[in-house]
């Protein structure tokens, strides 16, 4: 009888685990206004409308994607949309040896895009743990960009034999968007027209709850963990999960007696 009970119990546990994953992963990362992060770069075509739905003109100035669990949504816009950060390059750490440039290059970026959560990779931090560099945040800079000098990233080609280190250890600082290069270009602020407020949100300078974008995922009941197939996190399955836990606890006692 016990032999029959074990596989049943195991599959039940697996079901419970699968149900539980999106619940745990739905906790967005809360981060301080200053800290350390990793910086990568990605190709964003000029005039492309990225996840937040910020105007095409925003791509004419420095922009970045932010790792999903800090961005605050798995789809479309999140609370980070429109926020501006001063990013300062500190060092590389994958290169051998690590590279510490003589000067500290800084850039003020506006977050306009989402860097999707992945199991590995630099945008994989969750409330359960950081990325491989020990950081909760990864900024993915749109680079090359017409607004950023092509030699923005320091290098030492004669020593390393390449110029692109791929990933940097940086410090970040939340700053007012009045420090952003696109601030005086009204066409670079805000979100695109013709989409409706339910699908786009790009705050010009988010400073408090009344001018900060909400989470598209939270509004639409989309589970943030894109690595599972359970995409409908309405309150019902959540309650169901909790009730499963309480009904399974007696079984636990039985199993380990
Ligand atoms: C960004 O950070 C650098 C390095 O700390 C600093 O020199 C610069 O003034 C900062 N820029 C803004 C706009 O805060
Ligand atoms: C992210 O991926 C790295 C390996 O690249 C791993 O060491 C780390 O534990 C992962 N973090 C999370 C939260 O899964
Ligand atoms: C990033 O820089 C900080 C400050 O210098 C340092 O404490 C940390 O170890 C660095 N992390 C990596 C992965 O290089
Ligand atoms: C490149 O690295 C080597 C070895 O650390 C150093 O001697 C040289 O001065 C560096 N050159 C530049 C331009 O940083
Ligand atoms: C939010 O910030 C804006 C701009 O700084 C300000 O005008 C507004 O009064 C603030 N709202 C609240 C509720 O604090």
pTM for the whole structure: 0.82
Domain of residue 129, residue span: 26-242
CA–CA gap between residue 205 and residue 31 (Å, rounded): 18
pLDDT tens for each residue of 170-198: 999 999 999 999 999 999 999 998 877 67
Query: At residue 96, does pLDDT exceed 50?
Result: yes
Query: At residue 241, does pLDDT exceed 90?
Result: no
Structural domain includes residue 3: no
Structural domain includes residue 12: no
Ligand 5 centre distance from Cα of residue 208 (Å):
6
Query: 172 and 34 in contact (C-beta within 8 Å)?
Result: yes
Which residues, in sequence order, are CB contacts of 153 under 8 Å at separation 6+?
41, 89, 105, 143, 163, 164, 165, 168
Contact 174 CB / ligand 3 (< 6 Å):
no
Ligand closest in space to the Cα of 206: 5
Query: At residue 237, does pLDDT exceed 80?
Result: no
Total structural domains in the chain? 1
Structural domain includes residue 226: yes
Average confidence (pLDDT) over 82-91 = 98
Q: What is the pLDDT of residue 256?
A: 29
Contact 169 CB / ligand 2 (< 6 Å):
no
Collapsed DSSP state (helix, strand, coil) of residue 172: strand
The closest-lying atom of ligand 3 relative to the alpha carbon of residue 92 is: 14
Average confidence (pLDDT) over 25-48 = 93
Alpha-carbon distance values, 113 to 117, 146, 182 (Å): 13, 18, 16
Q: What is the pLDDT of residue 161?
A: 97
Q: What is the pLDDT of residue 38?
A: 98
Query: 117 and 224 in contact (C-beta within 8 Å)?
Result: yes
Q: What is the pLDDT of residue 98?
A: 98
Contact 132 CB / ligand 3 (< 6 Å):
no
Give the domain CATH number at 212.
Answer: 2.40.40.10
Give 118's strand partners. none
Ligand 2 pocket mutation, candidates 67, 124, 166, criterion most atoms within 8 A of CB: 124
Structural domain includes residue 252: no
Structural domain includes residue 249: no
Query: What DSSP assignment string belongs to 7-54?
Result: HHHHHHHHHHHHHHHHHHHT-PPP--SEEEEEEEEE---TT---TT-B
CA–CA gap between residue 255 and residue 5 (Å, rounded): 9
């Amino acid at each position: 009888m016990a032999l029959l009970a074990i596989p049943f119990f195991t599959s039940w546990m697996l079901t419970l685990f699968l149900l539980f994953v999106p619940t745990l992963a739905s906790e967005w990362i809360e981060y301080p206004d200053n800290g350390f992060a990793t910086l990568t770069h990605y190709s964003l075509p000029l005039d492309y409308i990225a996840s937040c739905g910020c105007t095409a003109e925003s791509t004419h100035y420095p922009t970045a994607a932010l790792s999903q669990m800090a961005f605050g949504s798995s789809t479309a816009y999140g609370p980070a949309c429109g926020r501006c950060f001063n990013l300062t390059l500190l060092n590389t750490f994958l290169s051998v040896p690590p590279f510490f440039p003589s000067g500290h290059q800084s850039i003020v970026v506006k977050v306009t895009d989402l860097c999707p959560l992945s199991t590995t990779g630099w945008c994989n931090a969750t409330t359960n743990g950081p990325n491989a560099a020990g950081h909760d945040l990864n900024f993915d800079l749109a680079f090359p960009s017409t607004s950023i000098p092509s030699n923005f990233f320091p290098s030492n080609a004669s020593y390393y034999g390449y110029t692109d280190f791929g990933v940097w250890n940086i410090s970040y600082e939340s700053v007012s968007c009045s420090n952003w290069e696109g601030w005086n270009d009204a066409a670079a602020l805000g979100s695109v027209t013709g989409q409706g407020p339910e699908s786009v949100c790009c705050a010009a300078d988010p400073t408090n709850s009344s001018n900060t974008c909400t989470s598209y995922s939270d509004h639409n009941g989309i589970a943030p963990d894109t690595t599972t197939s359970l995409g409908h996190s309405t309150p019902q399955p959540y309650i169901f999960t909790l009730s499963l836990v309480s009904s399974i606890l007696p079984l636990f006692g039985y199993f380990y007696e």
